[in-house]
Chains A and B, each alone.
Chain A
Amino acid sequence: MLNEKILRNDEKAVYNLRSLYRRFGYSRFKMSKFEEYDLYVRNKDFLISDCIITFTDTNGRLLALKPDVTLSIIKNAKDVKGQVEKLYYNENVYRISGDSHSFKEITQTGLECIGDVSIYDICEVLYLALKSLESIDENYIIDIAHAGLVSALINKCELSGDIRSKVFESIQNKSIDEITSIFQNELMTKFSYDIITRLVSTYKSCDEVINAFGGISEDIDAQLKEFSVICKSLSDMKLTDKVRIDFSIVNDTSYYSGLVFKGYIAGIFTSVLSGGQYDKLMKKMGKNSGAVGFAVYLDALERHGNEKSDYDYDFVILKDETCDSAQIIRTVESLSENGFSVIVLSQLDKNIRYKSLMKLTKNGLEGA
């Protein structure tokens, strides 16, 4: 029987998430640790970092240790009209982690829904993202935004190449002062300035978003409509108190096409979940259908919510020379069956913290 107490938080999360995804019909996708380097070179911008660990295979092909899971899943996805494939994974990926600037092995669990993705599928994936966070900790928040809407709004602003990337950076940093300085240097119009400063705000409801951006153009209204359908389903499921609308999370409109989201758990300093709808990536990889999915970064959970124990063991048993091995093992088994942790020593180590100290002789266990 599984003793939950011995599982670390990230391990517990893996079990919970696996059972959650299976309940919604997602099947496990197991992949190889290596992938042809070429796949990542062609889609470098999609990766969080373009540094990849590579090596030469026995037949001379250049292989890479997987820095990402999504690309491999898309590559192997069937592209059948009218069908969706629902897959989940639990894999290690190897990439440079943001804050340490060195390669790290990162455990990642997530799911992808690929094929003729309907609005229901998008809502289902978002719902599962919310439930994933809830299964880890009740105190969570998800930020949602719409990449198609942001892209349509920025296109309307008609910014030149390098100003466009500066504006994107400022939106992500919520830096209104940077945007103001671009405007004051006459590198954007008042109309664009108003739109972009509104994109930096956080919105409490979808109605606020519609008020802020509705009626500018047909293209924008079409994106708003899709976004409001998703928001409505959240409010119908009474999940809105865990969801914020925040356009600063949109970081790449060349891959993401629709809904994007990012999840946070109180007490963890980075986002632990990230995902969205990435039809544009599918197209770039020669597929005709759409896709939506997310990943949960389990390494972030390692230090989360671990209760610090005052003891290393419940029992320290000091054995004397008269006891035989079979007797010691029987004693340990009988204590551990009752849920206690036990260590057997010949001499007491003063660095060990314990609840009770016992002595084992051939006559049995006695208090020391």
Chain B
Amino acid sequence: MEFINVALPKGRLGEKVYAMFEQSGYECPSIKENNRKLIFENAEVGVRYFWVKPSDVAIYVERGAADIGVAGKDILLEYSPDVYELLDLKIGKCRMAVAAKTDFRDNTAETLRVATKFSNIAQKFYNEKCRDIDIIHLNGSIEIAPILGLSDVIVDIVETGKTLYENNLEPKETIVEISARLISNKASFKFKGDKIREIADALGKIVRENND
């Protein structure tokens, strides 16, 4: 039997995603056992799941190690992997935003210093506005950059904005709304397309039910 390899993002989002797969009929009971296994399969329904770091899902799918996977729109926009984006799962919702100190005034006479993990998204956003920026690439704790004067603004994911407000920062502008997407390797879609479409349709039904 031909398996569909599914890359799931480790963590809370991944558990929600697996629950949706389970609801759609692609359950894999062994995944819930508490052990150190990395790969879980259910031959009856022909799926094989594995957990990977959320930012790596797109790489596994793009390079065909996974036929399908679930990745945030932020990762897809940042790395532009060559994959099909089959479905918006409408979970893991948040937004990519520009944030700054509450008293921040944008001085257009100067180059804007932007601290972010998402260099490509930030670059593209400011290119469209023809704004000259200086990107400061950071890997975490982005919020601290404007407080210490490392940058004027930050571009980051905002869920509730609580961390921002607690640090005297606030979101100033939304760049794009983010949610989890079902992605597929392009070549896998040619050879296992029927099964992949079947899974996408079943998940689509769950998405509609959850959002009605």
Contact = CB atoms under 8 A, between A and B. Distances in A.
Contacts of A143: 190
B88 interface: yes
> Chain B's interface: helix, strand, loop or mixed, by majority?
mixed
A270 B85 contact: no
Contact of A269 (B63, B85, B86, B193): B63
Nearest to A266: B191
Interface in B55-85: 62-64, 82-85
Interface stretch (A59-67, A83-91, A107-115, A171-179): A171-179
Contact of B193 (A99, A175, A202): A202
Interface string A240-251: 000010001000
A199 interface: no
Interface string A155-175: 000000000000000000111
B85 A175 contact: yes
| Among A175, A202, A271: residue with most chain B CB under 10 A | A175
| Among B85, B185, B187, B188: residue with most chain A CB under 10 A | B187
Nearest to B86: A174
Contacts of A139: 191
Nearest to B188: A269
A265 B186 CA distance: 11
A98 B190 contact: no
A231 interface: no
Interface string B83-112: 111111000000000000000000000000
A141 B84 CA distance: 17
A244 B191 CA distance: 11
A31 interface: no
Nearest to B65: A269
B17 to A, nearest CB: 16
A173 B181 CA distance: 12
A264 B193 contact: no
> Chain A's interface: helix, strand, loop or mixed, by majority?
loop
A241 to B, nearest CB: 13
B191 A264 contact: yes
A141 B191 contact: yes
Contact of B185 (A248, A265, A269): A269
B84 A270 contact: no
Contacts of A187: none
B63 to A, nearest CB: 5
Interface in A18-38: none
Contacts of A266: 187, 191
A268 interface: yes
Contact of A98 (B64, B82, B88, B188): B82
A141 B86 CA distance: 20
Nearest to B90: A177
A268 B187 contact: yes
A173 B84 contact: yes
A39 to B, nearest CB: 27
Contacts of B181: 175, 177
Contacts of B185: 269
Contact of B187 (A202, A244, A271): A271
| Among B63, B185, B191: residue with most chain A CB under 10 A | B191
| Among B62, B83, B84, B85: residue with most chain A CB under 10 A | B85
B136 to A, nearest CB: 21
Interface in A26-82: none
Contacts of B64: 268-270
Contacts of A265: 187
Nearest to A142: B190
A270 B62 CA distance: 8
B43 to A, nearest CB: 20
B191 A99 contact: no
Nearest to B193: A202
Contacts of A178: 85
B191 A174 contact: no
B190 to A, nearest CB: 5
A281 B86 CA distance: 32
Given A177-B87, A269-B185, A270-B187, 17 more contacts: A99-B82, A141-B190, A173-B83, A173-B84, A174-B85, A175-B84, A175-B85, A175-B181, A177-B85, A178-B85, A202-B193, A264-B190, A264-B191, A266-B191, A269-B62, A270-B64, A271-B186
10 contacts: A141-B190, A173-B85, A174-B86, A175-B181, A178-B85, A244-B190, A266-B187, A269-B63, A270-B187, A271-B187
In order of increasing CB-CB distance, the 4 nearest A-B pairs are A269-B64, A177-B88, A175-B85, A173-B85
Interface of A: 98-99, 139, 141, 143, 173-175, 177-178, 202, 244, 248, 264-266, 268-271
Interface of B: 62-64, 82-88, 181, 185-188, 190-191, 193
